[in-house]
Structure 1
Amino acid sequence: MAAAVSARLCRLAERTAVGVSARPRPGVPPPERRRFISSTARSDLHFRLDEQTAHSSLDLFKKNTGVIYRMLGLDPSHVRDNPARFRDWAVVFGDEKINGGRHYWEVTVKKSQEFRLGVAEALMSREDCVGTNSCSWVFGFAQRRWFAMTNKKVVPVKLVGKPDRIGILIDYEAGILGLVDVEKRAIIHTIRVRFKDALCPAFGLWDGELLTHSGLEEPDGLK
């Protein structure tokens, strides 16, 4: 029931584009497994999904590279308490930090009609949903439409259907987060922002499943 309420509230956030405070929640340490990626012009980023951050409605599988949404999920009281875990929103972070460089990964979407893909500051408040504050930047799909969401604003993304596989490109120094059409090898939409703090790959999921593919080389022609 808590997961269903969370999903409805997050959908409301999409319609109103009104988020809560972007100030990091005190005492939210990054998981011990995370390490910084050195700042380079291009670097292949390898990450898995971090179980320590995963909401109780999300199950990780395939060696923590995939996530599936369970409507009922686990009883939050039965989930190991961790200040890094999302309690109110169906969100999970990747287990690597990004503080520089240019990185690319892809996501396979299965049976999902509502999800978000992007990045967020590692110390983002776990009381927020990705895309509803000023320290997370995502591309979302809901009601058969794509949108970009950041800084409490929702921008429609046109000329894209619902592909089975989508790419995410980030250039930290250039301040670019791109949604990539994998088949056409083209950037569909770009979010521009001045990144200041360490970031993590971020995912929100309210049905179906997502499978991440990291450690990939950036396709040619995405400059």
Structure 2
Amino acid sequence: MALPLSMAGCRLAGRTVGNLLFRQPRRMLLTNRRCFVSATAINNLQFKLDEKTAHSSLDLFKRDTAVIYRILGLDPSHVRNNPERFHDWAVVFGDSQITSGRHYWEVTVRKSQEFRVGVAEAAMSRHECIGTNNTSWVFAYAQRKWLAMTTNKMVPVPVIGKPDRVGVLLDYEAGRLSLVDTQKNKVIHTIRAPFRGPLCPAFALWDGELLTHSGLEVPEGLN
């Protein structure tokens, strides 16, 4: 079955570019990250969105807990150039790095028909999009369908419609990333992967806006 066109690749400055998915991943050394989550932090991960990583088409607001996509965006020459910023893709990372524990956060989606939520290695190449390589794991929504994505592989997620709010549950040691239906307090789908390096909450957005909710305990029903 053919996949939706917009899910066949990541979108470059508002355009879908499928052939860029198959480039070899490029690693980069990133420094001066703000925060590490210690081995004793079991949940209650608190993070904000990291402006240093945000693509020029993304604006942060609500004290850096929310992001809005602007089709024209900022002139890249007016955005401070640094090695942590995504240059080609509408992606932004959270400002915390996770190296252990179980962590849970939620995302409110407003007026968006295409977005991705998940995690990525802190050192992921800023010339790639989350979900297209072996250093990121995401749940993608486009054309009214959900997919789990990593390493250019796309797995359909059971139909849940488009809820206004979804949860993300990360179990680092168990190698599990789950999408959660917050209304039913139920895991919808789980991606399994051998996490090795520090991970950051990761988001991609091509219309509308996302609001993040962190500092949450793992719901009892998901323990």
What do the CA deviations read for 1:64-103 (whole angstroms, capped 9, x no partner)?
0000000000000111111100010000000000000000
Q: How does 1:96-175 map to 2 (within 5 A)?
A: 96-175=96-175
Q: Secondary structure at the match of 1:49?
A: coil
1:52 alignment partner, SS class: helix
| Post-superposition offset of 1:181 | 0.2
> d(CA) in 1 for partners of 2:175 and 2:220?
19
2:30 aligned with 1:23, yes or no?
no
Q: Which blocks of at least 5 consecutive residues in structure 1 are unaligned? A: none
Q: 1-side partners of 2:180 and 2:98: how far apart? A: 19
Q: Does 1:95 align with 2:95?
A: yes
Structure-1 residue corresponding to 2:5: none
Q: Report the Cα distance in structure 1 between the residues aligned to 2:217 and 2:127, rounded to whole angstroms.
A: 34
* 1:6 CA displacement: 3.1
* Matching residue's letter, 1:38: S
Deviates more, 1:151-160 or 1:111-120: 151-160
Match of 1:185 in 2: 185
| Equivalent-residue separation in structure 2 for 1:211 and 1:30 (angstroms) | 26
Name the stretch that deviates more: 34-43 or 143-152. Answer: 34-43
The equivalent of 1:49 in structure 2 is: 49
Does structure 2 retain, via aligned residues, the 8 Å contact 1:20–1:132? no
- Contact in 2 for aligned 1:31/1:84 (Cα 8 Å): no
Name which of 2, 11, 16 aligns with 1:9: 16
Matched position secondary structure for 2:16: helix
Q: Pick closer, same or farther for the CA change 1:41–1:82 going to 2, 3 Å.
A: closer
For the aligned residues, what is the CA RMSD?
Answer: 1.6
Q: Which residue of 2 aligns with 1:77?
A: 77
Deviation digits for residues 94-141 of structure 1, max 9, x if unmatched? 000000000000000000000000000000000000000000000000
Contact 2:43 2:103 in 1 (8 A): yes
What letter is aligned with 1:137? W
Deviation of the 1:42 alpha carbon: 2.2
Q: Secondary structure at the match of 2:215?
A: coil
Rounded to whole Å, the distance in 1 between the matches of 2:39 and 2:53 is 25
Greater strand share, 1 or 2?
2
